[in-house]
Amino acid sequence: MNSNNQFKVKFGSFHNESVNNQTITRFIHASDIHLGSHQYRNKYRANDFIRTFQDILELAIEKQVDFVILGGDVFTSLEMLPGKLTKIITLLKNFENFTNNTILIIAIEGNHDIRKFSRGVRFERRGQSWLKLLNSLGLIILLDTDMDAPPEQMFKPYNYNTYMGGKIQIKNTVIYGTRYLGEKPISFLSKIRKGIMKSKSVFNILLQHFGIDGQMKNVPGIKLEAIQHLRHRVDYLALGHFHKQFILEDWIYNPGSSEAVCSMDNSFKRGVFLVEISNKSDKFVKKVEMIRLVNRKYIWETISLNIRIRNNNEIETFLIKRLKSSLKYLDHDVNPSTPNMPILYLMLKGLEPSNSCKINEKGLRKKICDIFPIVDVKIYKKYMKSHKTLDKYILA
């Protein structure tokens, strides 16, 4: 085994007790890892997403689970820098080696896994994803289904030779999964239900990438009523998509994104679920524990520009002076590779600077990052519109 294996360095050796216990199944349900996020802008932030993925795998080792399920959006887009992908592949190889392949990673594609951001190309129709690559390397199990097949043929057992299949049984748990079903998956759900086999001796998990209406403000999802029919055949609906965590009716679980993909994610409850299924006198008993992950620290600072600004230099000097006073408590000795060095969200309010002294955002960001012990800064503007409206009124 490679001595650079990060799991070996951390844990020494591994023996999965769980393999021999047929009555208890343990798994981790995570989602929306968004590997590849921020990779063009900031290397530390880009590594945050890989580190969080590593944390999930370490948790799987610590808790001696039988498998990990990932509810899609494992990658943030099809665009992936070679260095980052190499890191992810090495991580998965090391995990497989260290655990002797006793903890399977089972995933489905989310909308981000098949999405190309730039130039608006509709790439999802070509059916490619990095998850398919990892699956073909034997590093993960990607569940996928032929949605045109009749229901009874839709979920074929995963085949380790062809790397294809829509379901997999581990102990007395069967995990079903499909490809991303688009923004309106309802039309597929009755077919999915027909394809799922229910028997008393197995615990069924259905892995899906969609949200439930009402769980996130202003984000549409499927109506809760529309999935009730699945409940007869699904014991645990494992969702991904919404970055905010929710649990509904004791059978629908959405862990939320594992790292904050945008500033709004920071305000959500997020994490992973550690689930234990035990079989007691022919009945399944489920225990779900929510575990929080260690994420990048962050700070919000709001500065009001209620001053007359004559030039670009003046505004930068003003902002830096203000930040020097409010951020003086920050520790300068923190390693930016650790999540302890914060990201700064800077909100600018007040009077919008006139066109002649517009803020050079790129330059300002660099300056702020050079001066303060922060890993990155994101600038938001929420200026008053009043003087603009007045100008418009006078001109009219």
* 32 touching Mn ion, by CB under 5 A: yes
Rounded to the nearest angstrom, the gap between the alpha carbon of residue 42 and the centroid of all alpha carbons in its chain is: 18
- Residue nearer to Mn ion on the CB measure, 55 or 73: 73
State in angstroms the smallest separation of the CB of 225 from Mn ion: 24
- Residue nearer to Mn ion on the CB measure, 30 or 377: 30
Which residues, in sequence order, are CB contacts of 117 under 8 Å at separation 6+?
77, 79
State in angstroms the smallest separation of the CB of 291 from Mn ion: 19
- Residue nearer to Mn ion on the CB measure, 32 or 124: 32
* 113 touching Mn ion, by CB under 5 A: no
Contact by Cβ (8 Å): 219, 254: no
**Rounded CA separation 358/340 (Å):** 32
Compute CA distances 74 → 30, 32, 35, 246, 389, whole Å: 9, 5, 6, 19, 45
| Residue showing the smallest CB distance to Mn ion in the complex | 73
**Rounded CA separation 74/68 (Å):** 13
Q: Could you give the string, one character per residue 51-80, with x where binding to Mn ion holds by CB under 5 A and - elsewhere? A: ----------------------x-------
Contact by Cβ (8 Å): 302, 347: yes
Token pair 């932030």 is found at 45
- Residue nearer to Mn ion on the CB measure, 171 or 296: 296
State in angstroms the smallest separation of the CB of 257 from Mn ion: 6
* 48 touching Mn ion, by CB under 5 A: no
- Residue nearer to Mn ion on the CB measure, 73 or 109: 73
State in angstroms the smallest separation of the CB of 32 from Mn ion: 4
State in angstroms the smallest separation of the CB of 185 from Mn ion: 15
State in angstroms the smallest separation of the CB of 94 from Mn ion: 25
DSSP H helices in the chain:
6-11, 43-62, 82-98, 130-136, 151-154, 186-195, 312-326, 361-371, 386-395
Burial class (CB in 10 A: 0-12, 13-18, 19+), 314: middle
State in angstroms the smallest separation of the CB of 244 from Mn ion: 11
- Residue nearer to Mn ion on the CB measure, 171 or 179: 179
Could you tell me how many residues make up the chain? Answer: 396
Q: Which stretch binds Mn ion (CB under 5 A): 32-40, 132-140, 159-167, 179-187?
A: 32-40
- Count of residues near Mn ion by CB under 5 A: 2
**Rounded CA separation 313/334 (Å):** 29
Compute CA distances 56 → 95, 152, 199, 229, 271, whole Å: 11, 34, 31, 32, 10
**Rounded CA separation 167/148 (Å):** 16
State in angstroms the smallest separation of the CB of 110 from Mn ion: 6
- Residue nearer to Mn ion on the CB measure, 221 or 353: 221
Strand 173-177 and strand 203-209: pairing? Answer: parallel
Q: Which stretch binds Mn ion (CB under 5 A): 14-22, 25-33, 97-105, 361-369?
A: 25-33
- Residue nearer to Mn ion on the CB measure, 71 or 195: 71
The residues of the shown chain that bind Mn ion, judged by CB under 5 A, are: 32, 73
